[in-house]
Structure 1
Amino acid sequence: MKILDRYILKTFVTTFTSVFVILFFIFIMQTVWLFIAELAGKDLDFFLIIKFLILSMPKLVPLVLPLTILLASIMTFGDFAENYEFAAMKSSGISLQRAMRSLMVFILMLSFAAFMFANNVIPYAQYKFDNFRRNIAQVKPAMAIAEGQFNSINNLNIKVDKKSGEKGEKLTGVTIHKKNNLGDNTTVIQAKRGELLSSEQSNILQLVLYDGHSYEDIIPKKYEERKKMPFAKSTFEKYTINMDLSKLNNVDVDAENLANTNSMLNVKELNYTLDSLDNNYKRDIVSYTENIYQRAANSVLINFQNNSAIKKDTIVNDLVKIIPEGDKTRILEIANSNIMSSRTVINDTKFGLENKKRNINGHLLALHEKFVIAYACLLMFFIGAPLGAIIRKGGLGLPIVFAILIFIIFHFINTFGRKIAQDDSLSPFLGSWMSSIVLTPLAILLTYRATNDIGLINMDVILLPFQKLFQKFTKSKKK
């Protein structure tokens, strides 16, 4: 390697390392603030908190790495241009592309490393992170319930007036709202005291209640009796509720995450899962369409076949006229019942299919994101390096302004694309690659202008028409 390549690479790597450490520390602080409610006041020792943060670090790399490359490129090449080192290179016959060559190889290696990191390390770290949080709930069951507020756990909303004990497992003044399958609060349980019991070998957290009572709404089959709002009241000395620990504290750093599994899978596993999800989705659509067709085609026919007044092969011009008067009301009731039933089936099936499609889109987004991070490293380098050579400013002033502005645009478009792709308003491919597609022309333009020694904005193009107009105006005034 030539002396010039070593010098450029050393300067860039030094700047890159410093910027990466600073930015990573900032994003770690952001993670702490995101989880402050989960960590504070839980009697967690220092080792558990450090392990918690270490396991959350890998997921920050896709955010920190592209921004670091962008800022380091602007600072490095801006410093070269500001100190006239580029002028010395050009006078020696070394072009910008030649100066960037050693860094191109480094960025390519870094992009490949970023892909491998996203494909192997991040899924493993995410798996360990989620399991670690579940294990915290096993060791520290008090984390599941906070004092003085309702805590949503599975189908329960639990409120506790006061906690005590070494691990906060002793509860006083327990109020529970229990939801049914439709999501309605139908049962209220109140107890004077309770206790949380858990084991590190079990995924079940037991809530044992003492000296309490419960109210349960009863929904009668007859609609007329529902207006009376009947309920059942019972008292108990001891009542045990089992809760699934795997669903406790189910909060993710990325709010757009659709499923807990897609961020834990590599490319091979995602492809396999997507194949299964897609086949199941298509089978559900076929089954749904066949079911609706059979309901629509056979329900009326079956009811009409039971009526001797209507024959199968009768050609009817006015169906109402041939139906006996006594059967009209019954047939209308049957038709209305069939319509309401079909409507309910359609809405339920639509909701289920939308959730399955959203799950598929989430896995597709997770698959594309592993490649997006690799391309983002290249993209940010080819934006930052030419931009630094054009603005000719190093240090932490103007480069930070440009870097943050460009990264905000990149991150906003990426978040927006993922959001609409999750809702199936856009294909997951375009949703994942939208930010890269938008900023790639900017990288090409900046590289072209820096290579040909053209400024960021050619002011002559803007000012020349006004100068000509002003000259014409002054000449006409003199005459």
Structure 2
Amino acid sequence: MKILDRYILKSFLITFTSVFVILFFIFVLQGIWLFISELAGKNLDFMVIIKFLVFYSPKIVPLVLPLSILLASIMTFGSFAENYEFAAMKSAGISLGRAMKALTVFIFLLSFAAFFFANNVIPKAEYKFINLRKDILQTKPAMAIAEGQFNTIGNSNIKVDKKSGENGELLEGVTMHVKSNQGFGNKTVIKAKSGELKSEEGSNILKLDLIDGYYYEDIYPKKYEEQHKMPFAKANFKKYRINIDLTNLNKSEQAGEIVNTNTMLNVNELNFTIDSLQTSFNKDVVSFTENISQGIEFGLKPKPVNNPGKFKSAEDILASLTIEEKNRVYESALNNISSTDFSIQTNKNDLFEKQKNINKHWIALHEKFVVAFSCLLMFFIGAPLGAIIRKGGLGLPIVFAVLIFITFHFINTFGKKVAQENGMPPFLGTWLSSFILTPLAVSLTYRATNDIGVMVNFDWITEPFQKLVNKIFNNNNEAEINDNDN
């Protein structure tokens, strides 16, 4: 390796390491803030908290790594251009492309390492993270519930007024909202004066015994004409046990967003799971279609009539019926339509949730490749941009880096959200930000390597601020001089 390559690589690595450590620490603090309700005041051992943060940290890397590469590239190459080191290289016959050669090889290797990390380390860390949270809840079940607020656990929202006992397992003033599996909101409400949380070692079930309370449940009638009556069931109880499946923690992430085991699988496992889920989904679609078709045919199947030859159409049959018979026919038809519509909506919601699950697995699969590509993308945006703006340090480079990365992250989040809701193919949703910013990377690299726009001066952005700061300092100095004279 030549002296120049070592110098450029060393300069980049020093900046990159510093930026990565700082950003990583900031995002870890953000994670602590997100999980503060689960960690604070729980009498957890110090080593448990350390494990909690260690298992959480790997999922931060795909977010921190591209931003660190982008900022380090802009700062390094901006400093070279600002100190006229690129001008010296050019006078020696060394182009910008040649100066980037060693770093390009390094970034390619770093991209492969990022893919390996996303494919192997993050799934295992996520698995251990979820199981650690489950183990904490088993040893300290009251940790799952905070006082005075609704806590989402699995398919229920639980609120308690007060906790007591050695581990906070004794509850007072319990309110539960149980969500419907069919997408109709909270169908069941349970209120109890007191309760007790129990758990057994090695079990995934958290037992909640409610004492002296009431049970309310909304009933969704199958007949359309009865829906406006809003029927419900009510019962009181002395003791009522609810089993909470702790494996539902796999469906709760720090921001409340529902995820599945897709975050704990590598590429091979994701491919196998997607194939199984898609096969099951296709079978469900065929089964649902056949059931609806058979139900419609059964509901529309006409009853035998006398002298069918004299009736030429359905209007003739209706004309031969009395008013009471017509009303019964209309009522039967409405009931069949309402039942069929209810079945269609229920199955539609079920199929939509299954499709979302498939989309999540596809997104998780593509994300592993996007992480690797984003490293290359950010380098080929940051390096030529730093050479063009000719500004190093922590001023203008941070502004450009933050703007570019926010744009990348926003488009990436938006695309994945739309793809998850089946608004676009998962491939397009996951790669959308890369597709949009790749032309920018190509354009900047072309302009920088061909000396197009390398001499563009961005002093017109920073100069007004510098003048304002100098003016303020000059006024302060003049005021101090006048005070001393007096």
State the TM bucket, normalised to the shorter chain.
0.7 to 0.9
**Distance change >3 Å, CA 216–CA 69, structure 1 → 2:** closer
1:226-305 equivalences under 5 Å are 233-236=235-238, 238-248=239-249, 250-253=251-254, 258-301=258-301, 304-305=302-303
How big is each residue's C-alpha offset from its partner over 1:153-179, in whole Å with a ceiling of 9 and x where there is no partner?
A: 345443333222332123334444556
Contact 1:196 1:207 survives alignment (8 Å): yes
Aligned-residue sequence identity (percent) comes to: 61
Distance 1:239 1:57 in 2: 40
**Distance change >3 Å, CA 39–CA 228, structure 1 → 2:** closer
Task: With the length of structure 2 as denominator, give the TM-score of the two structures.
Answer: 0.85
Moved more, 105-114 or 154-163: 154-163
Distance 1:110 1:228 in 2: 60
How many residues are treated as equivalent by the alignment?
Answer: 452
- Residue 357 of structure 2 corresponds to which residue in structure 1? 359
- Residue 192 of structure 2 corresponds to which residue in structure 1? 190
Contact 1:137 1:248 survives alignment (8 Å): no
**Distance change >3 Å, CA 291–CA 314, structure 1 → 2:** farther
Contact 2:120 2:266 survives alignment (8 Å): yes
**Distance change >3 Å, CA 451–CA 367, structure 1 → 2:** same
**Distance change >3 Å, CA 164–CA 382, structure 1 → 2:** same
**Distance change >3 Å, CA 25–CA 299, structure 1 → 2:** same
- Residue 482 of structure 2 corresponds to which residue in structure 1? none
Mark the runs of 5 or more structure 1 residues left unpaired by the alignment. Answer: 460-479
**Root mean square deviation of aligned Cα:** 2.9
How big is each residue's C-alpha offset from its partner over 1:224-252, in whole Å with a ceiling of 9 and x where there is no partner?
A: 9x97978655452x544322222259531
Distance 1:340 1:107 in 2: 61
Distance 1:101 1:218 in 2: 67
- Residue 200 of structure 1 corresponds to which residue in structure 2? 201
Moved more, 448-457 or 273-282: 448-457
How big is each residue's C-alpha offset from its partner over 1:52-100, in whole Å with a ceiling of 9 and x where there is no partner?
A: 1111111011100000100111111111111111111111111111111
SS across alignment from 2:337: helix
- Residue 321 of structure 2 corresponds to which residue in structure 1? 324
Contact 2:79 2:391 survives alignment (8 Å): yes
1:413-428 equivalences under 5 Å are 413-428=411-426
**Distance change >3 Å, CA 391–CA 292, structure 1 → 2:** same
* 2:71 matches 1:62: no
1:78-477 equivalences under 5 Å are 78-176=78-176, 184-186=186-188, 188-191=190-193, 193-210=194-211, 212-216=212-216, 233-236=235-238, 238-248=239-249, 250-253=251-254, 258-301=258-301, 304-308=302-306, 310=308, 315-316=312-313, 318-320=315-317, 323-325=320-322, 327-455=325-453
Instruction: Report the AA paired with residue 61 of structure 1.
Output: V
Q: 1:207: Cα distance to partner? A: 2.4
Instruction: Report the AA paired with residue 268 of structure 1.
Output: N
* 2:71 matches 1:74: no
SS across alignment from 1:214: strand
Q: 1:144: Cα distance to partner? A: 1.4
SS across alignment from 2:162: strand
Distance 2:229 2:412 in 1: 51
Distance 1:394 1:123 in 2: 37
How big is each residue's C-alpha offset from its partner over 1:85-138, in whole Å with a ceiling of 9 and x where there is no partner?
A: 111111111111111111111000000000111111111111111111111111
Instruction: Report the AA paired with residue 248 of structure 2.
Output: K
Instruction: Report the AA paired with residue 41 of structure 2.
Output: G
Mark the runs of 5 or more structure 2 residues left unpaired by the alignment. Answer: 458-486
How big is each residue's C-alpha offset from its partner over 1:416-449, in whole Å with a ceiling of 9 and x where there is no partner?
A: 1111111111111111111111111111111111
SS across alignment from 1:406: helix
**Distance change >3 Å, CA 215–CA 403, structure 1 → 2:** closer
